[in-house]
Amino acid sequence: NGIKSVMNSIWNSIKSITSSVWNGIKSVVSNTASAMRSVVSNMMNTIRSVFSSGWNAAKSVTSSGIHGAANIVRSVASSMVSAGRNFVMGFVN
């Protein structure tokens, strides 16, 4: 019975140490994984934000360019109509 008691005591000590070491390893791995997820998430959010800002700027420039070109076409067309009207009116008067 004495040997059994000593063996149980040794075994319980081994289990306790092993459990403590394992829990420590799990904690380190879990914390490291959480930190890595946070870093990746922050990087992705930054990339999305930069891309979104760039995309919105490109849309704005393109839209402004299209509106500017349309205004030029309208202005030229209006000038041509006015010139044609003035030309015809010159013969009428």
In angstroms, the CA 67 to CA 5 distance is 91
Instruction: Give the pTM.
Output: 0.50
Radius of gyration of the chain (CA): 40
Q: Convert the pLDDT of each residue in 41-92 to its tens digit.
A: 989 988 888 888 888 887 777 777 778 788 888 888 888 888 888 888 877 7
Q: Convert the pLDDT of each residue in 6-54 to its tens digit.
A: 999 999 999 999 999 999 999 999 999 999 999 999 899 888 888 888 8
How far is CA 46 from each of CA 22, 39, 43, rounded to the nearest angstrom? 36, 11, 5
